[in-house]
């Protein structure tokens, strides 16, 4: 059963990556092109040397492959998480659980880290800080996931004492406080070059967020629909990943 669920997660991730690529190619790529034009037109822009691949290859094959690999990986991760929580979070339908889980993963894996370290187009970041920024971003992702898991655990343990509504509010408050502490503790970066169009930065970040939203929404819908049929054929049972 677990293998069949994970296979549906990989399929959902592949389908979602196609939708996300179309969105990114339509909206994000033009913003990247404008940022590169700004970088090349202003003194002090970064010198990247000779490009191994043309902009056309990067914008199509490169972006397409990258989005596909990421989407399939997220689909597989989503399916594993689904196997872990299915049958352990109340009497939720497979479709509803898919939507809620996708929403939680979108929030913890992207939205929360994005609030601290938002995506930036070329010309906005310095090459010398890329390693530090990458490590801090990954740390933010890990801490967000850990705090969300802790909040879920807290809510379940407070359920009998306070009831569903109050337990959920307490768990949500604990998550928000924890995230706030992490955001204050981690360093920030202000590398915006003088004269960079604020509207272009806003559009790039908005469309980057939209790409992830499309990815997780399609994963939720496709996986929820396929796994619903699979689980309807079998008696309700806890699904788990064998050790």
Model confidence over 67-114: pLDDT tens digits? 999 999 999 999 999 998 887 776 788 899 999 999 999 999 999 999
**pLDDT tops 80 at residue 223:** yes
| pLDDT of the residue at 135 | 94
CB contact set of 142 (below 8 Å; sequence gap of 6+) = none
**pLDDT tops 90 at residue 214:** yes
Exposure string (b/e) for 170-200, b if CB count within 10 Å is 16 or more?
Answer: bbeebbeebbeebbeeeeeeeeeeeebeeeb
Higher pLDDT, 107 or 121: 107
Higher pLDDT, 53 or 172: 172
| pLDDT of the residue at 59 | 64
- Contact by Cβ (8 Å): 12, 219: yes
Closest listed residue to residue 9, CA positions, set 71, 69, 97, 66 = 71
Q: Provide the mean pLDDT of the chain.
A: 87
Entry pTM: 0.86
Angle (CA) 134-215-9 rounded to 5° is 100
Model confidence over 10-57: pLDDT tens digits? 999 999 999 999 999 999 999 998 988 888 887 554 454 555 656 666
Q: How many Å apart are CA 236 and CA 86, to the nearest integer?
A: 10
């Amino acid at each position: 059963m677990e293998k069949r669920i994970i296979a549906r997660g990989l399929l959902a991730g592949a389908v979602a990556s196609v939708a996300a690529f179309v969105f990114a190619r339509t909206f994000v790529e033009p913003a990247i092109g404008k940022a590169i034009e700004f970088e090349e037109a202003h003194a002090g822009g970064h010198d990247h040397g000779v490009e191994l691949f043309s902009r056309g290859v990067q914008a199509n094959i490169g972006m397409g492959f990258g989005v596909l690999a990421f989407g399939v990986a997220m689909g597989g991760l989503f399916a594993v998480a689904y196997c872990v929580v299915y049958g352990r979070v109340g009497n939720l339908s497979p479709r509803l659980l898919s939507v809620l889980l996708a929403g939680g993963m979108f929030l913890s894996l992207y939205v929360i880290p994005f609030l601290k370290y938002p995506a930036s187009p070329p010309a906005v970041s310095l090459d010398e800080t890329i390693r530090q920024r990458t490590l801090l971003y990954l740390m933010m992702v890990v801490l967000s996931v850990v705090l969300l898991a802790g909040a879920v655990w807290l809510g379940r343990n407070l359920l009998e004492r306070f009831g569903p509504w109050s337990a959920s509010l307490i768990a949500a408050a604990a998550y928000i406080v924890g995230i706030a502490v992490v955001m204050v503790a981690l360093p920030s970066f202000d590398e915006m070059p003088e004269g960079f169009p604020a509207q272009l930065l806003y559009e790039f970040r908005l469309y980057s967020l939209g790409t992830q939203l499309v990815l997780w929404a399609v994963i939720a819908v496709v996986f929820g629909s396929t796994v619903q049929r699979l689980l309807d054929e079998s008696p309700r049972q806890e699904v788990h990943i064998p050790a």
